[in-house]
Amino acid sequence: VDFTPAPASATPVSRVHAPLWARPDERWVATLTSSFARLRLALRRQRALLIGDTGIESPLGEASWRSATFASASAQPPTVSLLLRIGVGAVAVLLMRYTDWIARERESGCLWSEVFSERRCEWVFSLLASVDTLLSTETHGAVRALLRLCLTAADDEMEDSDLGARLDVLIAIVGLYFCNEDLLGESQRAP
């Protein structure tokens, strides 16, 4: 493991108050986005093998999805078998709903650590891995809104290392993989 500090010109800057060795560097971001691309490809290949399998083509009612995936106490983990059964269109709708639920949770006064709990971040990551690359205008808007929420949370909660690590992953994926670099310059935490 290389513990030498990242050069000052390194693109990613994570938690401003974190020691240099704890900040994601360009190599970390490149490895993450490359691994994420391979994961998306593997999921796409597996989904192609399931053509004709009866899956969940339209999202269930909002209350059912919220209870199954978002409610902290009862949220199910996002398993590969479940993700493969959710149709691509339903994934996009669920990702848009998830972004809306996160925004509403924060507006209601929940702490960022609750809004971006480990389970919720697992679901966001999984939905991002499953969503079609060609995003509709609505889905792209939701992805950008998600990035803004992540950046705001990261700027507000620089001392929470667990939350910071989860947000670093989401910020790198949503900001760089999904080509939203223009929003990254607005934050102290931009990768």
pLDDT digits (tens, 9 = 90+) for 43-98: 989 888 876 555 555 556 777 778 878 876 678 889 898 888 888 888 999 999 99
The total number of residues shown for the chain amounts to: 191
Candidate ranges 12-21, 42-51, 94-103, 161-170; pick with highest mean pLDDT: 94-103
Alpha-carbon distance of 12 to 25, in angstroms, equals 5
| CA–centroid distance for 190 within its chain | 15
Percent of the chain at pLDDT above 70? 77
What pLDDT is attached to residue 51?
61
CA distances from 7 to 31, 126, 136 (A): 18, 32, 38
pLDDT tens profile 94-111: 999 999 999 999 999 999
What pLDDT is attached to residue 67?
80
Alpha-carbon distance of 134 to 137, in angstroms, equals 9
Q: What does 112-154 look like in DSSP terms, one character per residue?
A: HHHHT-HHHHHHHHHHHHHS-SS--HHHHHHHHHHHHHHHHHH
pLDDT tens profile 125-141: 999 999 988 888 999 99
Name the band, by pLDDT with cuts 50, 70 and 90, for residue 17: very low
What pLDDT is attached to residue 7?
38
Name the band, by pLDDT with cuts 50, 70 and 90, for residue 146: very high
pTM above 0.85, yes or no: no
Percent of the chain at pLDDT above 90? 41
Alpha-carbon distance of 49 to 42, in angstroms, equals 11
